[in-house]
Structure 1
Amino acid sequence: MTAGEGYVFRDQREHAHEGIHNEIITGPVTDWATDFSHLDPRWAADPYSIYDDLRKRCPIAHTERFGGAWLPVRYEDVAAIAYDTERFSSRSVVVSNIRPPRDLAPVGSTPPISSDPPFHREARRILLPAFTRSAVSRYEQTTRDYCHSLIDAFDGRDLVDAAKEYAEHIPVRVIAAMLGFPEEDGPLFREYIEDVFQGINKPPEERAVLLNDLFTYLYKQIEEHEKEPRDDLTSYLLNVKVNGSNLPAPHVAGTIALLLIAGIDTTWSAIGASLWHLAKTPADRERLVAEPELLPTAIEEFLRAYAPVTMARLVKEDMHWNGVDMKADDWILLSFPAANRDPAQFERADEVVIDREVNRHAAFGLGIHRCLGSHLARMELRVALEVWLQRIPVFTLADPDAVTWSSGQVRGPRTVPVRIG
């Protein structure tokens, strides 16, 4: 079955308030095995020690927060759930106090990442041409030029913020160019990202307002593209034909929301984490400056060690799974960062080895929802680090205690003050 055929699409603004509303639970975690929360500041500061502890005593943790959720931390469990579309639904991939209604499947509100089979295959196929290696290459030179301009703006200062003044701006500019959105709307995009990923514990009515703001903006951009078609991804989505018909407007808006939100925060976080690592690890920084040909290998290791993305699934029916009793509509937090640090899967899993040769990491996900933008993310990360290391070969953390990390399902540094020279 193809996009639009036999499925009912609903405007995200209309159903943002629907679903199962759960009690909001706040406060510090008392036991990570029975009361975890990925909003706890300790998770943002250092999730890796939490994963290590849970692997030893409780490889599938549970919490009553968010109406009930599970957290597998072993690679084999994360992979098994990611590949199992029969028992786990992707109709929502962001844990919150709102569960979208079950009849939203198999489409979801942000296809293809929120789509289940059989709809998922067609929704993903539509996007593939825009994210091939050759399609992505057309943005490389402008990305490189923009990275240089960001460093030019440092204006000779010896103290800069590698996250706020560099990493966060690069994917914003690239995604805006791909979608044909105004470059000056970058600050607005960052607000939407914070609302989606870090506002998940807000009351449902507040979440509905935030989602309404996002999709109102997107429909405005879509309307402008309908009036004035352009050579960009938004116009492509508006014009693509499936079985002779255009995609429904909510499908277009949902897909653009996915690209705007996920395409920015994940790459921003990966660039920032890589620069943070190099600032605090002079041996690795010096080696990459001396051996720039090693950078692609090092990038894969940065992606493994500092994978930014944790996705979610929803349990379809009550079941006993790998020793635990899961209930229908329980959340599953698929922690790809935890999978990437599993010593059963990777040698020296807790070390960053920039010349690691065998590195089948899960930073881009596993299963049918493996990130279709991986070529784009790798290009942005490579160019951002190439330009930085060429222009700023010597830099260190100005104040390690001043580094801050985002909370929620996408983890990356938000402030990385570095001293140049």
Structure 2
Amino acid sequence: MTADDRFPRDHRTGPPPGTRNEIVTGPVADWATDFSHLEPEWAADPYPIQEELRRRCPIARTERFGGGWLPTRYEDVASIAYDTDRFSSRAVVMSNFRPSRERAPVGGNPPISSDPPFHGDARKLLLPAFTRSAVAGREAATRAFCHSLIDAFEGREVVDAAHDYAEHIPTRVIADMLGFPPEDGPRYREFVENALEGVNLPADERFARGEKLFDYLHDQIQDHLDDPRDDLTTYLINAELHGDRLDPSHVAGTMALLLIAGIDTTWSAIGASLWHLAGTPADRERLVAEPALLPAAMEEFLRAYAPVTMARLVKEDMHWNGVDMKADDWVLLSFPAANRDPDQFERAGEVVIDREVNRHAAFGLGIHRCVGSHLARMELRVALEVWLERIPAFTLDDPAAVTWSAGQVRGPRRLPVRITG
């Protein structure tokens, strides 16, 4: 069988109808009425902005992207995350394009884009690959790979902890899980940036970049049809739902989800944790001296520097918690803002590496809570264990040179650190 027999390439010639071509970035006059999560100041440090909005609004509004809302209190974020009757997940990246309602309940990247009742069955298909035991089987290879990355630092005083280390770990793990060529890592970075940081590109260019990803996935599907093996891609090709093989768009959409979300979120979490330790000597020295504290510290890094914000679409016009939401308005679920709500966490704005009670929302809330949380935690823990074992003393080489990604997944993209011991 060829991929074109069951998985035909989609030869669309341009963006779908309804795509807006406006440019949505630019200076923000008032974050309460014109927020934009793509602005440089948001990427550099969103927390003071979120704190101000929590006091003033606490649900901000923007007319960009065709209209959207930004709740900043934990209570509001959680309420929307759990409310699948009034908020749809058929699109989770806020942009100028809203998929038609006919795409529900499946969406383009199941299960993250799926609404009930389809969501539950689509999610169950993925659970076996992400159990604690399945993840544990990947730890030794992940640890060996982390050591190999640090081996390559030999003789260097300054390294980029994001580009030379954090980025590569989830890239290798996800490539291994999907059975993709590990040497294609640089292409995965490009796919990630296109999907999550390219929402302000002209519609034609954004669409063309998205097609490159699905052309790549089509080639990988063909390779697995020619050479089936024990990996997640072969599993998805052969999986059945409700007695039938998965629709080709379901297979490709889920592969895209695993590739994009599986890389960027963990890459960002590892990088943010190393950024904190490089700039906070007391916490770094304590973790080196007390390695048993790492699990608690890791959860605190996830809380304080939660990388992920997810979008929802309002299903129908309604008055909700003091604001008038319209059908197809965007809502950004800022889990980072929720995690710093002082009504939910003591010393919410501080990083407390021995925090004992830490029910953070870094992996989301509700039915869409991250299916890969066990994997992400393993990668983060192993990445930090190996780094602190091999490089116990390091500092930011130039704090001003650190850059952060813009958009709905925030993490360091440049993180030059100086190895001092």
Using the size of structure 1 for normalisation, the TM-score is 0.96
Letter in 1 for 2:58: P
> C-alpha distance in 2, partners of 1:280/1:417?
11
Letter in 2 for 1:249: P
> C-alpha distance in 1, partners of 2:256/2:267?
17
Counterpart of 2:269 in structure 1 is 270
> C-alpha distance in 2, partners of 1:227/1:244?
24
Q: Secondary structure at the match of 2:60?
A: strand
Give the C-alpha shift of residue 208 in structure 1.
1.3
**How do 1:18-417 and structure 2 match up within 5 A?**
18-22=16-20, 23-417=22-416
Distance 1:388 1:352, change over 3 A: same
> C-alpha distance in 2, partners of 1:164/1:224?
29
The answer to whether the 8 Å contact 2:9/2:218 transfers is no
Residue 17 of structure 1, aligned match among 8, 15, 18: 15
115-124 or 216-225, which moves further after superposition? Answer: 216-225
Q: Tell me the alpha carbon deviations over residues 75-132 of structure 1, each in whole angstroms, 9 at most, x when there is no partner.
A: 0000000000000000000001111111001000000000000000000000000000
Letter in 1 for 2:363: F
> C-alpha distance in 2, partners of 1:24/1:69?
15
> C-alpha distance in 2, partners of 1:26/1:180?
37
Give the C-alpha shift of residue 26 in structure 1.
2.8
Give the C-alpha shift of residue 159 in structure 1.
1.0
Q: Secondary structure at the match of 2:128?
A: helix
> C-alpha distance in 1, partners of 2:52/2:240?
50
Give the C-alpha shift of residue 210 in structure 1.
1.2
Give the C-alpha shift of residue 11 in structure 1.
7.6
> C-alpha distance in 2, partners of 1:306/1:207?
28
Letter in 2 for 1:87: R
Q: Secondary structure at the match of 2:108?
A: coil
Q: Secondary structure at the match of 1:99?
A: coil
Q: Tell me the alpha carbon deviations over residues 120-146 of structure 1, each in whole angstroms, 9 at most, x when there is no partner.
A: 000000000000010011111111001
> C-alpha distance in 2, partners of 1:75/1:15?
42
> C-alpha distance in 1, partners of 2:168/2:14?
29
Give the C-alpha shift of residue 15 in structure 1.
9.7
Give the C-alpha shift of residue 226 in structure 1.
1.2
Using the size of structure 2 for normalisation, the TM-score is 0.96
- Unaligned stretches of 5+ in structure 2? 1-6
Q: Secondary structure at the match of 1:349?
A: coil
- Unaligned stretches of 5+ in structure 1? 1-8
Q: Secondary structure at the match of 2:292?
A: helix
Give the C-alpha shift of residue 156 in structure 1.
2.3
> C-alpha distance in 2, partners of 1:10/1:321?
43
76-85 or 25-34, which moves further after superposition? Answer: 25-34
Counterpart of 2:4 in structure 1 is none
Distance 1:67 1:248, change over 3 A: same
> C-alpha distance in 2, partners of 1:296/1:139?
18
Q: Secondary structure at the match of 1:98?
A: coil
Matched positions, count = 413
